[in-house]
Amino acid sequence: MDFNLKDFNLDTNLLVSILTSILQVILILFISGIVIAVAKKLITRFFDGRKESKFNRMDGAKADTLASTAKSVAKYVIYFIAAISILEVFGVDTKGIIAAAGIGAIAIGFAAQNLVEDIITGFFILFEDQFSVGDYIAVGGIDGTVEELGLRITKIRGFDGSLNIIPNRQIEIVTNKIRGNMRAKVDVGIAYEEDVDRAMSVINKIAEEYKGENEDIIEGPTVLGVSNLGSSDVVISIVAKTKPMSQWGVERELRRRIKNTFDKENIEIPYQKQVIYNKKED
């Protein structure tokens, strides 16, 4: 068997070249990961400082939203630089790629219209301040708290813990349930045999006591009066204005207090009853 030293040197050089390229790619990816982590920390520190700054203080929700968007932009930019560096490792002429970036952007725009639309919509959502991280919103039948507002997607955490990931282009009609005071409404049904004026007087007393105990109540609770004459009950409505996200707790507590007080005052709340007759034959 003939042994060619030149072939051996060639194979060795090729192996060394491949291993060197692999190590360079691993090093690029490692450095990119570190840079992304550092960039995220710096962005977080910057916006945390803006929230606590005595001068030009930024709203907390808006600062969190801008921080989330800035992190997304930084991540994509670093990924792009890393990809260019990896291509250079394998001998690809990246100058031509960068020079053709303008034309490529147009081509990508046509090929990835949904992505472009997501990004544009994300910018409009951000700069128009439609909602921010931490806001409770409803979008397309999904409601929950905004956890992340990125350039491409928005993440909403529902009350059941589910995480809803929505492309920004699908966000058309948004209901923001945390901007301004919220309304708490409770409907209470009493039997037709009861004295309506007496029931309203009892509810008014409950409302006055509860208002003094709960700092989340901005206005009310106010007894509006009889709102409906049902098939088996007279419905009395109570409304109040509360701080955002406090309306449900106020409604629950009002119902509890009204039920307990009605029991003490012997005011009947009608409910369905089932009567069973036993027929006896002689």
Q: Determine which of 4-13, 121-130, 272-281 has the lowest per-residue pLDDT on average.
A: 4-13
> In which residue are the tokens 């072939």 written?
7
Span 219-233, average pLDDT? 88
Statement to judge: residues 9 and 44 lie in one domain? yes
Q: What is the mean pLDDT of the chain?
A: 80
The CATH number assigned to the domain holding 22 equals 1.10.287.1260
Split at pLDDT 50, 70, 90, the class of 182 is confident
Statement to judge: residues 86 and 172 lie in one domain? no
> In which residue are the tokens 């001998």 written?
91
Split at pLDDT 50, 70, 90, the class of 93 is low
Q: Determine which of 38-52, 107-121, 124-138, 148-162 has the lowest per-residue pLDDT on average.
A: 107-121
Span 159-179, average pLDDT? 85
The residue ranking higher by pLDDT, 280 or 87, is 87
Q: Determine which of 38-52, 83-97, 142-156, 170-184 has the lowest per-residue pLDDT on average.
A: 83-97
Tell me what percent of the residues of the chain surpass a pLDDT of 90. Answer: 15
Span 145-173, average pLDDT? 85
Amino acid at 157: R
The residue ranking higher by pLDDT, 139 or 123, is 139
Statement to judge: residues 195 and 155 lie in one domain? no
Statement to judge: residues 244 and 190 lie in one domain? yes
Statement to judge: residues 160 and 90 lie in one domain? no
Question: Does residue 231 form part of some domain?
Answer: yes
- Final residue belonging to a domain, choices 176, 193, 211: 176
The residue ranking higher by pLDDT, 104 or 163, is 163
Question: Does residue 228 form part of some domain?
Answer: yes
Statement to judge: residues 156 and 219 lie in one domain? no
Closest CA to 199 of 276, 264, 139, 108: 264
Give the domain extent around 58: 5-99
Question: Does residue 104 form part of some domain?
Answer: no
Task: Please state, in angstroms and as integers, the Cα–Cα distance from residue 190 to each residue in 52, 203, 250, 272, following that order.
Answer: 52, 12, 21, 13
Q: Positive or negative, the Cα torsion across 197, 200, 206, 207? A: negative
Angle at 214 between CA 254 and CA 199, to 5 degrees: 30
Split at pLDDT 50, 70, 90, the class of 200 is very high
Question: Does residue 282 form part of some domain?
Answer: no
Span 226-245, average pLDDT? 89
Q: At what angle do helices 196-213 and 247-265 cross, to 10 degrees?
A: 130
Backbone angles phi, psi at 154, to 5 degrees: -125, 130
The CATH number assigned to the domain holding 159 equals 2.30.30.60
> Rounded to an integer, what distance in angstroms lies between the CA atom of residue 113 and that of residue 233?
57
- The model's pLDDT over 126-146, given as tens digits with 9 standing for 90+, comes to 777 788 888 888 888 888 888
Statement to judge: residues 24 and 49 lie in one domain? yes
Span 113-118, average pLDDT? 73
Split at pLDDT 50, 70, 90, the class of 257 is very high
Question: Does residue 67 form part of some domain?
Answer: yes
Span 216-235, average pLDDT? 88
Statement to judge: residues 83 and 13 lie in one domain? yes
The CATH number assigned to the domain holding 229 equals 3.30.70.100
Statement to judge: residues 204 and 171 lie in one domain? no
Angle at 187 between CA 184 and CA 192, to 5 degrees: 160
What is the pLDDT at residue 254?
A: 93
Statement to judge: residues 229 and 259 lie in one domain? yes
What is the pLDDT at residue 125?
A: 78
> Rounded to an integer, what distance in angstroms lies between the CA atom of residue 91 and that of residue 279?
97
Question: Does residue 55 form part of some domain?
Answer: yes
What is the pLDDT at residue 281?
A: 64
Question: Does residue 154 form part of some domain?
Answer: yes
Statement to judge: residues 149 and 195 lie in one domain? no
Question: Does residue 122 form part of some domain?
Answer: no
Q: At what angle do helices 60-89 and 5-52 cross, to 10 degrees?
A: 170
Statement to judge: residues 147 and 202 lie in one domain? no
What is the pLDDT at residue 110?
A: 59
Closest CA to 68 of 157, 163, 142, 132: 132
Domains in the chain, number: 3
Span 140-158, average pLDDT? 84
